[in-house]
Amino acid sequence: MEIVSENRSFGGTQGVYRHASETCGCDMTFAVYLPPQAKVGPVPVLWYLSGLTCTHENAMTKGGFQEHAAKHGLAVVFPDTSPRGEGVANDEAYDLGQGAGFYVNAKRDPWKPHYRMYDYVVSELRGIVSGMDGIGDRHGITGHSMGGHGALTIAMRNPELYDSLSAFAPIAHPTQSDWGRKQLSAYLGDDEGCWAEHDSTLLLEEHGWKSDILVDQGASDQFLDLLKPEALAAAIAKRRQPGTVRMQAGYDHSYFFVNSFAGDHVAWHAERLK
């Protein structure tokens, strides 16, 4: 594993790393923040999955997670959102291809050889991160937009791997949204029955989640009709699932929104992970 950079941050270390991924068949870059408490012993881990067009860097530099993670003694992992590089399929649209992996394992060409972000996050990268000094064995997961979709669906499908769950403005019902139908069709094929395991609303209705869930959504989000938070809220109510969906007045879909509530989410995860 190549060290791209390591910087001091709130008494801890913000690192960026590159490795050859067997899962994705290309070099992948990710970031890990280790709080000062990791020098004493293993600390819990919070995974942050980013949204469309992002790399590992966006949330690392704009999310403001390091200060809160240092306060509560959490490591934070920032994966990339897709495979990248020469020979990796791409599309001219911003919401398909590189930067838009949607946290699924693609079944159709030209995406199939590299677009395996579900396995990458759940298995390969988790194994790499778990082998780092200072990393403990309790993991929480969160994410924004496409990454919120990824966090919810990955946790619900793997409850034995994650101990806490939250999301920022997730794509909550992708099988019924243009942010979802397009990508699921491209990556998985036209059989909509295969899409359900990547829809948090449908997963929650069928399986629920083992603990409580926190979701923050900007009430002035310009993409509300694509995100469909009302579908997830209805599923929470129907399932009688412990959870909170907060509509935050005046907030949009930007990292200003994420940064504003990052502290709440880190504290929420810290309470459950410790």
CA geometry: angle 215, 140, 161, nearest 5 deg: 120
Give pLDDT tens digits for 122-172: 999 999 999 999 999 999 999 999 999 999 999 999 999 999 999 999 999
In this structure, the strands spanning 12-21 and 43-49 are unpaired
Cβ neighbors of 23 (< 8 A, separation 6 or more) are 116, 119, 120, 123, 124
Give pLDDT tens digits for 46-58: 999 999 999 999 9
> Which of 44, 52, 50, 9 is CA-nearest to residue 30?
50
27: part of which helix (H) or strand (E)?
A: strand 26-34
> Which of 36, 266, 49, 9 is CA-nearest to residue 146?
49
Which residue ranges make up each domain of the chain? Answer: 1-271
Q: Is residue 184 helix, strand or coil?
A: helix
Weakly modelled stretches of the chain, pLDDT under 50: none
Q: Is 109 a known active-site residue? A: no
The tokens for 260 are 């504003």
Q: Is 221 a known active-site residue? A: yes
A 10 A CB-CB count for 41 gives 9
Q: What is the pLDDT at residue 114?
A: 98
Place of tokens 């690192």: 15
> Which of 85, 163, 79, 73 is CA-nearest to residue 123?
79
Catalytic residue among 50, 82, 145, 164: 145
Q: Is 178 a known active-site residue? A: no
What whole-number distance in Å separates Cα of residue 186 and Cα of residue 107? 9
Catalytic residue among 68, 72, 253, 265: 253
What whole-number distance in Å separates Cα of residue 196 and Cα of residue 66? 34
Distance of CA 97 to the CA centre of its chain: 17
Q: What is the pLDDT at residue 224?
A: 98
Question: At the fourth CATH level, which superfamily is domain 1-271?
Answer: Alpha/Beta hydrolase fold, catalytic domain (3.40.50.1820)
Q: What is the pLDDT at residue 39?
A: 97
Q: Is residue 45 helix, strand or coil?
A: strand
